[in-house]
Amino acid sequence: MNVARRAFLHLAASAAALPAVSRRARAQTYPSRPVRIIVGFAAGAASDTFARLLGQWLSERLGQQIVIENRTGAATNIATEAVVRARPDGYTLLLATPANAISATLYDNLNFNFIRDIAPIATFVRVPFVMVVNPSFPARTVPEFISYAKANPGKVNLASGGNGSASHVAGELFKMMAGVDIVKVSYRGDPNIDLLGGHVDVYFGPLPASIAHIKAGKLRGLAVTTAARSEALPDLPTVGEFVPGYESSGWYGVGAPAGTPAEIVNKLNREINAALADSKLKARLADLGGTVIGGSPSDFGRFVAAETEKWAKVVKFASIKPE
């Protein structure tokens, strides 16, 4: 082999190694400027609160500001599309929620495919819904509620946060699995107001919004919707204890535009899992009714796929259409 050929092969090998070196260097220096987490709900909503708690921790850990940007509308699809169309460099992230899994079937003409176009990074917290009734309602347990609803078909009102909302599909899943005929009443605001007044009968509401009313005796909690009981309300059973296989919850995760370098995805995943191991953050999330999840990007991807499949069945069964 002559000198020129040896020199050429050496240069070729060096060039082949450049992308890997470049990727490692990029991950080591990331982030070098502020990072945005786009949230599809308004400031002050539970999702916004969870995003800000995580963002504050990551900001201190990564040495760069994590900016929470609220883009509301179209059941979080505006926020999601903004992330899908962003540069895949790790500087624009999405707070993923059940709305993303539900919208995949609820909306016929989305300009994106959530599973294809958003790279999963990590789930970080799960929050139960609570099946709550007004204290005057003639049922103190889930079996009593089911018996009453079956004896009075079409006469029990189910409050929901709007067509296709997480609270709505949680109630529709209950109807489907328990075999009861109850009538949905949609609200754009907080249904707890009318529930407290006795104007509607039952609501599958987020635990953070219901827990104070339950503890004050103003609402009666019948069960939580997660597979396991909630540490925040340990005496409440789960719906699944009476309706086998029932599970519904609010969950929050972080995603990035598809094509975001794996090194950056993995770095963010490690940092989020480190955050969830922090006792102070964990306690703060628990105060809000949240249970940490964590796991790998592929764990999150599988979880989102399963949620999308589950809610597709409910949307089709209940013939839910966007408002």
Q: Note whether 232 and 289 are within 8 A (CB).
A: yes
pLDDT for 23: 54
Compute the distance between CA of residue 31 and CA of residue 174 in angstroms, rounded to an integer: 44
CA angle, 98 then 100 then 103, to 5°: 110
Is residue 195 within 8 Å of residue 132, measured between CB atoms? yes
Q: Could you count the other beta carbons within 10 Å of the beta carbon of residue 256? A: 25
What structural domains and CATH numbers belong to the chain? 32-127+249-317 (3.40.190.150), 129-241 (3.40.190.10)
Could you give the CA distance from residue 136 to residue 36 in angstroms, rounded to a whole number?
Answer: 46
Instruction: Report the pLDDT value the prediction gives residue 190, as an integer from 0 to 100.
Output: 84
Q: Give long-range contacts, CB 8 A cutoff, 24+ apart: 177-180.
A: 177/243, 177/245, 177/246, 178/146, 178/149, 178/243, 178/246, 179/150, 180/146, 180/149, 180/150, 180/153, 180/156
H or E element, residue 249: strand 249-257
Residue 248, token pair as written in the block: 């519904």
Looking at residue 8, its pLDDT comes to 44
Q: What is the pLDDT of residue 45?
A: 87
Per-residue pLDDT of the chain (323 residues; tens, 9 = 90+): 555 555 545 555 555 555 554 555 566 789 999 999 999 999 988 899 999 999 999 999 999 999 999 999 999 999 999 999 999 999 999 999 999 999 999 999 999 999 999 999 999 999 999 999 999 999 999 999 999 999 999 999 999 888 899 999 999 999 999 999 999 998 877 899 999 999 999 999 999 889 999 999 999 999 999 999 998 899 999 999 999 999 999 999 999 999 999 999 999 999 999 999 999 999 999 988 899 999 999 999 999 999 999 999 999 999 999 87
Calpha distance 50→69 (Å, rounded): 13
Angle (CA) 222-102-248 rounded to 5° is: 25
Burial of 73 (0-12, 13-18, 19+ CB in 10 A): exposed
pTM for this model (two decimals): 0.88
Give the count of alpha carbons within 13 A of 313, CB side only: 11
Residue whose C-alpha is closest to residue 180's, from 220, 152, 141: 152
Residues 202/137, Cβ–Cβ less than 8 Å: yes
pLDDT on residue 18: 53
Q: What Å distances lie between residue 124 and 135, 243, 294, CA to CA?
A: 34, 27, 5
Q: Which two tokens stand for residue 152?
A: 């009075």
